[in-house]
């Protein structure tokens, strides 16, 4: 465009560091150059479309993409942490039976800049509401991150880059329903972030019933892939396990879970309370059952934590994201 080289650097800084939402925001460029950029380029920034506030402090946002699709992201605040839960796809193709997003069609993958924008917008919320920047990011929103592999990795590269948001990759966790081939790819790419596997059932028969992805990614293949990932990265691995009443919450289920835990260098099992959704038949186990399950894991020297759901009153909790108002 016959402009001086340093102008490109200025534009780059506005996009990735100063979080501009349009060319008009780039105030150290001349009006003429801003008009020229607007004429020659599009700026498909994500926009906040609606915000809901939970009684427990959780904030859910619906974001609109440039082509009119909606996705959801959640800010989960505690005293020590401010965590962004971000989406990687518009809808999801995996059809997990307990997850609201699983009942939606997958429209498309999010581009890396859209995922980056989610983090930026949730970070701005955190600074505004709590006067603190984000401390953690979890890819546990809508979609399967490992089926949008390149965009997720590129978004994380931008988020962790010194000329992006400069966050430590150790504070980022990517959660997968279990795509063995791509878990191995993470190992080959020697990624620096943590990995969480949504297990939710400790044998193939039960897992197949609630997670169709298990048809082509059985538990044995996932154990092998996780060991491969750990061997190549030494990164933290967590198992996620939602407790469903009379389905996967018996002491026998706990014993099967312990067997899997002992075959992988996993750091932790996150036990998650089930959050009911309109389409699914599952219910939550009693507190006594949850307590017995947890105690059995602890008795067997398993590092387990019960994760209480946040934002249930605004459908912002685990498994509830479905673009409902």
88-105 pLDDT tens trace: 999 888 888 888 776 787
Task: Decide whether 1-43 matches 46-314 in CATH topology.
Answer: no
- pLDDT value at 61 more than 60: yes
The CATH class of 1-43 is: mainly alpha
Task: Yes or no: say if 297 and 257 are a contact pair by the CB < 8 Å rule.
Answer: yes
How many other C-beta atoms are found inside a 10 Å radius of the C-beta of residue 229? 26
Q: Going edge to edge, which strands form the sheet with 172-176? A: 47-53, 59-64, 70-77, 82-85, 136-139, 172-176, 194-198, 237-243, 268-273, 304-307
What are residue 77's phi and psi, to 5 degrees?
-95, 135
d(CA 201, CA 249): 9
CA dihedral 191, 227, 150, 162 (to 10 degrees): -10
Find residue 174's DSSP bridge partners. Answer: 139, 195
* pLDDT given at position 69: 94
Q: Which residue in 3, 72, 209, 240 is the catalytic one?
A: 72
In which element (H, E) is residue 273 found? strand 268-273
d(CA 310, CA 205): 30
In which element (H, E) is residue 176 found? strand 172-176
Find residue 48's DSSP bridge partners. Answer: 63
Q: Is 72 a catalytic residue?
A: yes
Percentage of the chain surpassing pLDDT 70? Answer: 94
Q: What global pTM score does this model have?
A: 0.91
Architecture of domain 46-314: Alpha-Beta Barrel (3.20)
Q: What is the DSSP letter of 317?
A: S
245-272 pLDDT tens trace: 999 999 999 999 999 999 999 999 999 9
Task: Yes or no: say if 260 and 216 are a contact pair by the CB < 8 Å rule.
Answer: no
Q: What is the DSSP letter of 106?
A: P
* pLDDT given at position 144: 95
Q: Is 85 a catalytic residue?
A: no
Name the nearest CA neighbour of 116 among 46, 13, 176. 46
Mean pLDDT to the nearest integer, 298-314 = 81
Q: Which residue in 85, 92, 99, 318 is the catalytic one?
A: 318
* 272 burial level (CB within 10 Å; 0-12, 13-18, 19+): buried
- pLDDT value at 277 more than 90: no
Task: Please report, for the chain, the start and end positions of each structural domain, with discontinuous segments joined by +.
Answer: 1-43, 46-314
What are residue 10's phi and psi, to 5 degrees?
-60, -45
């Amino acid at each position: 465009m016959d402009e001086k080289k340093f102008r490109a650097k200025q534009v780059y800084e506005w996009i990735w560091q100063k979080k501009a939402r349009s060319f008009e925001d780039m105030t150290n460029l001349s009006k003429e150059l801003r008009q020229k950029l607007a004429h020659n380029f599009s700026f498909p920034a994500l926009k906040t479309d609606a915000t809901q506030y939970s009684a427990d402090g959780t904030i859910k946002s619906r974001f609109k993409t440039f082509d009119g699709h909606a996705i959801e992201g959640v800010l989960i605040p505690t005293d020590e942490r401010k965590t962004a839960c971000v989406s990687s796809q518009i809808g999801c193709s995996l059809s997990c039976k307990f997850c609201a997003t699983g009942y939606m069609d997958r429209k498309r993958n999010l581009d890396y800049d859209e995922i980056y924008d989610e983090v930026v917008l949730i970070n701005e919320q955190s600074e505004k509401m709590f006067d603190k920047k984000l401390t953690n990011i979890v890819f546990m929103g809508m979609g399967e991150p490992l089926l949008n592999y390149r965009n997720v990795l590129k978004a994380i590269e931008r988020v962790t880059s010194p000329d992006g948001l400069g966050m430590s990759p150790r504070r980022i966790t990517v959660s997968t329903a279990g795509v063995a081939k791509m878990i191995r790819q993470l190992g080959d790419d020697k990624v620096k972030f943590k990995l969480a596997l949504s297990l939710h059932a400790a044998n193939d028969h039960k897992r197949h019933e609630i997670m169709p992805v298990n048809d082509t990614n059985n538990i044995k293949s996932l154990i092998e892939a996780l060991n491969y990932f750990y061997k190549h990265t030494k990164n933290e691995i967590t198992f996620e396990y939602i407790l469903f009443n009379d389905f996967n919450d018996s002491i026998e289920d706990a014993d099967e879970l312990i067997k899997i835990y002992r075959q992988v260098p996993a750091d932790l099992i996150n036990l998650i309370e089930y959050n009911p959704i309109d389409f699914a038949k599952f219910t939550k186990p009693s507190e006594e059952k949850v307590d017995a399950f947890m105690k059995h894991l602890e008795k067997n020297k398993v590092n387990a934590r019960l994760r209480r759901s946040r934002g249930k009153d605004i459908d912002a909790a685990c498994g509830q994201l479905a673009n409902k108002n």
